[in-house]
A and B are shown apart, each in its own frame.
Chain A
Amino acid sequence: MTEVDSVDQPATRETAEWQRLESEAAAAVPRPPVRPARRPRSQFDQPRFLYVVLAFVLVFLFAPIALVVVFSLNATQSLATLSGFSLRWYEQLMHDSALLSSLSLSLEIAAATTIVSVVLGTLLALGLVRGENRWTRPAQTVAVWPLLNPEIATAVGCLLFFTQFGLTLSPTTVTLAHITWAIPYVGLIMRSRIVGLDPELEDAAKDLGATDLGALRLVVLPLLWPAIIASGLLIFVMSFDDFVTSYFTVGAGVPPLPVAIYSMIKHGVTPEINAVGTLMMVLSVGSVLLALVLFRMRHPRREEAVLDLTGSGIA
């Protein structure tokens, strides 16, 4: 009942009267045993252990990769003790022609995957949202299933498919397989954005004399551009980083970078991996941050942009 006091009210006769009545009523009712004063509301159910878990998880997530970055600058071979600053592992990397050609191969695969999957995935998303009826349900299933399927099963399937049709395993088959998981992913991100688009904007454009295609080009696409570029950046990173699909669908010859790193780790750890890992981190994390900034542009609920970008929105 203290709420009444806290509300700002002019001290009129009515309020004075009200307070008098209230205190009388309070006196008439037997008081419950005094409860300890409440803690301020914001801390009411904010147990300390939540901070501990959060801190633990952040350390758990960041300590190992921080170690990679720090030891990439180490002067000696050791992965256990730091002994001075040096760029020797980066230098060694710059002269490692095998690793460099793996790097450029991975960049090429990622670029091709991005271009094809962004176009097909965006079209798919537009079709699923704008053309929705019960006949598009199977299309919806096909557009989601690859995201849930264990990657190893998809990769083995592609391997069997390529051998069956006599396609020699090569960077081309890797790219084809990457595009296969990239299309549903772009579709998912773009759907979350297209669903949030106000259809009346298009109607307005048409009332102003735009044709269907004109409305698409002049209204819809400009609104979708940031999301399209963001999903492209994300796919670029995911394709560049992909190991499982590449591993199963690449033949003899230059391996993509993650496959090259896999065999390096298998044959014994060298600090050169720290250097190449750090460079990959800079590239990936940089692209993702850029994607996030773009995706947040014109996003209705900014703090949920992270969620939409990582694939929410099949509401």
Chain B
Amino acid sequence: MMRRWVWRLSLIPGVAWLVVLFVLPIGFVIAVSFGTVNIVGAPVYGWHPGNYSQIFQSIYVTVFLRSLLFALATTAICILLGYPVAYFVVRFGGRYKGLLLGLVILPWFVDYLVRIYAWVSLLGDQGFLNGLLHTLGMSGSPPLRLINTPYAVIGGLTYDYLPFMILPLFAVLGQVGDSVIEAGKDLYGTPLQTFFRVTLPLSFPGLMAGCALVFLPSVGDFATAQLLGGPNSYMIGNLIDGVFEGGGYWPFGAALTALVLAVLFVPMLLYVRYALRGGAVIPG
């Protein structure tokens, strides 16, 4: 083996890149969030916590809470759909295990915006479902309102991030092994008891990892709410987008971003605690 310090040298370029283009930029977000702007709109650093107190106006608080609510709902639906799928593929997939897992993951590799577009064309007022209802003679004169609803946003988020729930669950359930489940049955557990007292607790790290991996990106998502939700379903990401791409007051946008980071810090820590120690998965 080469000496260890030689290997450590190979860390330098990658770590340097990430420090300059990731750690430093996160520092800039925090610095700008306490700053103000000069006459041409460039950030000036200082101490202006007012940028944060601005967030606690009711409209922004509503949007913030809505983002968390949407993300929680998405996470819950992903558990309800993802757990049975992961369980089925691991235990009963047999020789089709890899194929089934691949099928479940594959749509995630279709471009993110194309996937959202697919839902727009499915749910839109002139879209496929309304067309189908029309053909069946069941549509009223105003088309059924499917798009621009909170349900469309939550459905779209579920579609975006469901694979992130299934992958870590698949990884941990694969390690549970048939023998402990058999043991549960040998001890006269009913299938339900065996599930709740053996399988579920053993898969807990994967479940936590999956929840973090669905929740974290859902909170920060904005294209889904923009294209499937409309103004009444806007999320925190849409506010940030409005500030930075709509010519808003940058320190306020930075404060919003910093707050997202602060709120998500706990789930991130949970993820690191459960998943990294437990050897689970991070899909990008």
List chain A positions with a Cβ less than 8 A from chain B.
42, 44-47, 49-51, 53-54, 56-58, 60-65, 67-68, 71, 78-81, 120-121, 123-124, 126-128, 130-133, 135-136, 139, 142-154, 156-161, 163-164, 176-177, 179-181, 183-185, 187-188, 199, 202-203, 212, 216, 237-238, 240-244, 247-248, 258, 261-262, 265-266, 269, 273-274, 277, 280-281, 284-285, 288, 292, 302-307, 310-315
Residues of A within 8 A of B106 (CB): 61, 285, 288
List chain B positions with a Cβ less than 8 A from chain A.
1-2, 4-15, 17-19, 21-26, 28-29, 32, 42-43, 81-82, 84-85, 87-89, 91-92, 97-98, 100-107, 109-122, 124, 126-128, 130-132, 134-135, 159, 162, 167, 170-171, 174, 181, 185, 191, 194-195, 212, 216-217, 219-223, 226-227, 237, 240-241, 244-245, 250, 253-254, 257, 260-261, 264, 268, 271-272, 275-276, 279-284
Residues of B within 8 A of A312 (CB): 167, 171, 279-282
Indicate which residue in B23, B113, B244 contacts A265 across the interface (CB closer than 8 Å).
Answer: B113
**Does B113 contact A261, Cβ atoms closer than 8 Å?**
yes
Indicate which residue in A65, A147, A149, A157 contacts B114 across the interface (CB closer than 8 Å).
Answer: A65
Q: A123-B14, A127-B10 in contact; A306/B102 too (CB < 8 A)? A: yes
**Does A54 contact B216, Cβ atoms closer than 8 Å?**
no
**Does A310 contact B105, Cβ atoms closer than 8 Å?**
yes
**Does A184 contact B135, Cβ atoms closer than 8 Å?**
no
**Does B271 contact A60, Cβ atoms closer than 8 Å?**
no
**Does A127 contact B110, Cβ atoms closer than 8 Å?**
no
**Does A80 contact B132, Cβ atoms closer than 8 Å?**
yes
Residues of A within 8 A of B105 (CB): 306, 310
Main secondary structure of the interface of B (DSSP, over half): helix
**Does A266 contact B226, Cβ atoms closer than 8 Å?**
yes
Q: A49-B84, A261-B113 in contact; A143/B14 too (CB < 8 A)? A: yes
Please name the residue on chain B nearest to A180 by beta carbon.
B21
Main secondary structure of the interface of A (DSSP, over half): helix
Residues of A within 8 A of B241 (CB): 152
**Does B112 contact A311, Cβ atoms closer than 8 Å?**
no
**Does A152 contact B26, Cβ atoms closer than 8 Å?**
no
Known: A80-B127, A131-B7, A288-B109. 18 other contacts (CB 8 A): A44-B185, A58-B103, A64-B122, A71-B128, A131-B5, A144-B282, A149-B22, A149-B268, A157-B28, A237-B109, A240-B111, A261-B117, A269-B120, A285-B106, A292-B102, A306-B101, A310-B281, A312-B167
CA–CA, A87 to B38, complex, Å?
53
CA–CA, A71 to B11, complex, Å?
48
CA–CA, A237 to B109, complex, Å?
8
Please name the residue on chain B nearest to A200 by beta carbon.
B1
Residues of A within 8 A of B26 (CB): 149, 153-154, 157
**Does A269 contact B117, Cβ atoms closer than 8 Å?**
yes
